[in-house]
Amino acid sequence: MKSMLEPWQAWALMSAIFAALTAIFAKIGVGDMPSDVATFLRTLVVIALLALILSISGQWGAMRSLSRQGTLFLVLSGLATGASWLCYFRALKAGEAARVAPLDKLSVVLVAVFGVLFLGEKLSGPNWLGVALIAAGAVLVAYRS
């Protein structure tokens, strides 16, 4: 029997589930500490988990074959991730998770736009409609009436 989802779709859906849990757990956890401390603790957990995964899977050796360009862009990605996490935790500290997370997910809209502008990706009319609906939905969910 053929799977209903492509592997990338299954991973992306699991990512969404874990991202949702991240928001809920972080909102509860950041309640009694400074947001930057919470971000640091979260980062340590991520590092420890990834070190364990690399150790179990024997992937540490791949570090020797990284290209300069790949390394540069992964460092830039790491800096962007760190900045995103710091901003996200500050937003969670000050706001409601159900309103912070949708605005954070405007990143989906920005990825579509940046993908077209910088990576030469192509989006069809229905794709752009979806991007617009995601943007509108994020704003509407975050809106306080």
Q: What is the pLDDT of residues 13-46, one digit of tens each?
A: 999 999 999 999 999 999 999 999 999 999 999 9
Domain ranges, ordered by start, for the chain: 7-95, 105-145
> How far apart (Å, rounded) are the C-alpha atoms in residues 52 and 15?
19
- Give the type of residue at 36: D
State yes or no: pLDDT of 1 exceeds 70: no
pTM: 0.84
Average pLDDT, the chain: 94
> How far apart (Å, rounded) are the C-alpha atoms in residues 13 and 36?
28
Closest CA to 24 of 102, 106, 94, 92: 92
> How far apart (Å, rounded) are the C-alpha atoms in residues 110 and 88?
16
Percent of the chain topping pLDDT 90: 94
Is the CB of residue 139 less than 8 Å from the CB of residue 96?
no
Categorize the per-residue pLDDT at 105 as very low, low, confident or very high, splitting at 50, 70 and 90: very high
In terms of Cβ atoms closer than 10 Å to its own Cβ (0-12, 13-18, 19+), residue 143 is exposed
